[in-house]
Amino acid sequence: MRHLMALLTAAGSSLGLAPIAAAADLPVKAPPPPMVAAYHWSGFYVGGYVGAAWGRSTVTAEVQANSFFDNNPTDTFTIRGAGVLAGGTVGYNVQLSNIVLGVEIEGGRLGAKRSDIAPDFEVEPPGDLYTFKYGGYALFGGRFGVASDRWLIYAKAGVARARVSHVAGDLDGAELNPAYSFQVRTTLDGWAAGGGVEYALSGNWTFKAEYLYFDFEDLRVFDGNGFAYVLENSVQTVKFGLNYRFGGPIVAKY
């Protein structure tokens, strides 16, 4: 038997089986880690949002001697008011490396409003009424962002248009004096700028938080006597929304 084992060992060595047996004892190399899908922001998207709008409006008489706002030497009065913001969004993004460029249209209702009475130096109370109220609006803008996988920080700016109404004048009791008052409802053009942050949730849904400042063109109006007044309007908004992105490539990374 000893002679048989010696012969088998010698035969195996001569046929090269010994190195194979030794290689079987070497450690096995671990498989590569699985690929992880990196989020890509390219593609069309639609969404909706809610938030708050804060408006500021100032009325100033062009000729102080003819003004019904005689609450101070400059014949001017400023009011501030807030309201609920709501609307929808449609847009398109292109991602180049970690830079995201896009165009976006949003529209809805600003909702900011306020009514207040300016003190009047005349003997008759109560004073001078001034109100503003915003309705529908639209914004066409561009976005410039920096992405880090599922996070996107962006700046946004564009042109805006909004519906606004104003009522102002000298109060005679509970009624406006038609000779010293005006009512106007019109559409104002302006611009908006701001920025926000967006995060990609599961699937194609993203969540965003955004701030914008709107500045609108000055509005020149006339009271019943033909005396002129200049109205200045601006709005600040904060919104929270959800977007749904259609398609867009996923880039694999290790």
| pLDDT tens per residue, range 105-131 | 999 999 999 999 877 665 556 678 899
pLDDT for 161-175, tens place per residue?
Answer: 999 999 998 887 778
Structure tokens at 141: 């803008």
Q: Kindly report the pTM of this predicted structure.
A: 0.81
**Residue-averaged pLDDT of the chain:** 84
Residue 66 clears pLDDT 90, i.e. is over it: no
The CATH classification number of 38-253 equals 2.40.160.20
Q: Where are the domains of the chain?
A: 38-253
Q: Average of pLDDT values for 218-244? A: 94
Report percent pLDDT > 90 for the chain.
60
Instruction: Give the model's confidence band at 72: pLDDT under 50 very low, under 70 low, under 90 confident, else very high.
Output: low
Q: What is the mean pLDDT of residues 45-51?
A: 98
